[in-house]
Amino acid sequence: MLNTFTRILRDLLLNDTIVLTMTTRREEIADWDSLAYISFMVAVETEFGVKFGVAEIESFENVGAIVRRTRALSAST
């Protein structure tokens, strides 16, 4: 899943050097601004067939939190 997240973000930001870890935070990645974050979240929802709530999207502290929630939602469908 982490590899897929990395691919999605690389494609969005046109930057093949990005490597996401479970502890990566948005502010650590150049150009990962709020608009790119929303695009990333929509791409994750589409890729994995899940749907996040707005408050949930705003609450994710790092990539690991998004991975854990995506896994949980994927398991429940």
76 vs 75, higher pLDDT: 75
The amino acid sitting at 25 is R
**Amino acid sitting at position 36:** A
* Close Cβ partners of 56 (under 8 Å, ≥ 6 residues apart): 69
List pLDDT tens digits, range 15-66. 999 999 999 999 999 999 999 999 999 999 999 999 999 999 999 999 999 9
Give the number of other CB atoms < 10 A from CB of residue 46: 10
Fold of 2-75: 1.10.1200
Those residues whose C-beta lies under 8 Å from the C-beta of residue 23, and which sit 6 or more positions away, are 62, 63, 64
Max Cα–Cα distance, the chain, nearest Å: 34
* Prediction pTM value: 0.94
For residues 67-75, average pLDDT: 95
